[in-house]
Amino acid sequence: MLLYVEVTHTVKSEMLTGIPRVVRNVVKNLIEIGVEREITVVPIIFHRGSFVVTRAESVIKSKRRQAVKRRRRWSKLDAMRVLKKWESLCLEKLRGKPTVSRLVRAAPEELHVLLLLDASWPYNIWPAVDALREDGVRVISVIYDLIPITHSATVVEPLARSFGRWLGHQARIADGVICISKTMACAVQEHLLKLVRSRGESRSIRVLSFYLGSELEEGADDGTVQKKVLALRQGESAMFLMVGTIEPRKNHRDVFEAFKRLWASGVDARLIIVGREQWKSEALLAEMSRHEEIDRRLVLIRNAADADVRWLYENSTALIMASDIEGFGLPIVEARRAGLPVICSDIPVFREVAGSEATEFRVGDVDDLVRVIGAHLRSERERTHGKDQWITWRESAEQLVDAIHALTA
Residues 6 or more apart whose Cβ sits within 8 Å of residue 325 = 145, 147, 150, 151, 154, 249, 347
Within a domain: 221? no
What CATH number does the domain containing 158 carry?
A: 3.40.50
Higher per-residue confidence, 299 vs 216: 299
- Whole-number pLDDT of residue 17: 75
Q: Is the pLDDT confidence value at 54 over 50?
A: yes
- If we measure between CA atoms, which residue out of 74, 66, 72, 3 comes closest to residue 32? 74
> What is the rounded CA–CA span in Å between residue 383 and residue 237?
16
- Range of the structural domain that residue 311 is part of: 227-379
> What is the rounded CA–CA span in Å between residue 356 and residue 336?
11
> What is the rounded CA–CA span in Å between residue 105 and residue 136?
10
- Whole-number pLDDT of residue 372: 97
What global pTM score does this model have? 0.89
The 50-53 sheet, strands edge to edge: 50-53, 40-47, 2-6, 112-116, 138-143, 176-179, 207-209
Within a domain: 69? yes
Tell whether 242 and 298 lie within a shared domain. yes
- Whole-number pLDDT of residue 58: 82
Helix (H, G, I), strand (E, B) or coil at 4: strand
Q: Is the pLDDT confidence value at 29 over 80?
A: yes
Q: Is the pLDDT confidence value at 72 over 70?
A: no
Dihedral (C-alpha) 34, 40, 45, 50: value to the nearest 10 degrees? -160
> Facing residues of 360 across strands?
344
Tell whether 204 and 246 lie within a shared domain. no
Tell whether 267 and 369 lie within a shared domain. yes
The mean pLDDT value for 325-348 works out to 95
- If we measure between CA atoms, which residue out of 314, 376, 313, 315 comes closest to residue 344? 376
pLDDT in tens, 89-142: 444 444 556 889 988 988 899 999 999 999 999 999 999 999 999 999 999 999
Domain count, the chain: 2
Tell whether 331 and 401 lie within a shared domain. no
Determine the residue type at 212: L
- Whole-number pLDDT of residue 176: 97
Q: Is the dihedral of CA 33, 45, 203, 206 positive or negative?
A: positive
Tell whether 187 and 300 lie within a shared domain. no
pLDDT above 90 covers a percentage of the chain that reads 74
- Whole-number pLDDT of residue 398: 98
Tell whether 64 and 179 lie within a shared domain. yes
Buried b (16+ CB within 10 A) or exposed e, 182-196: bbbbebbbebbeebb
Distances (CA, A) of 238 to 261, 319, 377: 16, 11, 8
The mean pLDDT value for 303-316 works out to 93
- Whole-number pLDDT of residue 13: 81
Within a domain: 39? yes
How many other CB atoms are there within 10 angstroms of residue 343's CB atom? 23
> What is the rounded CA–CA span in Å between residue 346 and residue 95?
55
> Facing residues of 320 across strands?
343
> Facing residues of 43 across strands?
5
Tell whether 159 and 286 lie within a shared domain. no
The mean pLDDT value for 385-408 works out to 89
Within a domain: 128? yes
> What is the rounded CA–CA span in Å between residue 357 and residue 341?
8
Within a domain: 297? yes
Q: Is the dihedral of CA 369, 372, 374, 376 positive or negative?
A: negative
Distances (CA, A) of 277 to 10, 221, 273, 302, 308: 18, 22, 11, 8, 18
Within a domain: 280? yes
Q: Is the pLDDT confidence value at 66 over 90?
A: no
List helix spans (H) across 88-202.
Answer: 100-106, 126-134, 147-150, 157-173, 182-198
Residue pair 320/358 in contact (Cβ under 8 Å)? The answer is: no
Within a domain: 344? yes
Within a domain: 218? no
- Whole-number pLDDT of residue 75: 46
The mean pLDDT value for 303-319 works out to 94
The H or E element that residue 342 is part of is: strand 342-345
- At 55, is the pLDDT very low, low, confident or very high (cuts 50, 70, 90)? confident
- Whole-number pLDDT of residue 59: 86
Q: Is the pLDDT confidence value at 80 over 80?
A: no
Q: Is the pLDDT confidence value at 219 over 70?
A: no
Highest mean pLDDT among 10-24, 46-60, 189-203: 189-203
> What is the rounded CA–CA span in Å between residue 134 and residue 113?
13
Tell whether 273 and 357 lie within a shared domain. yes
Q: What are phi and psi of 198, to 5 degrees?
A: -65, -20
Tell whether 16 and 105 lie within a shared domain. yes
Helix (H, G, I), strand (E, B) or coil at 224: coil
Distances (CA, A) of 22 to 139, 188, 318: 19, 19, 23
**The total number of residues written for the chain in this structure:** 409
Tell whether 262 and 307 lie within a shared domain. yes
Residues 6 or more apart whose Cβ sits within 8 Å of residue 167 = 143, 146, 149, 191, 192, 195
Buried b (16+ CB within 10 A) or exposed e, 379-390: eeeebbeeebeb
Residue pair 143/179 in contact (Cβ under 8 Å)? The answer is: yes
- At 223, is the pLDDT very low, low, confident or very high (cuts 50, 70, 90)? confident
- At 62, is the pLDDT very low, low, confident or very high (cuts 50, 70, 90)? very low
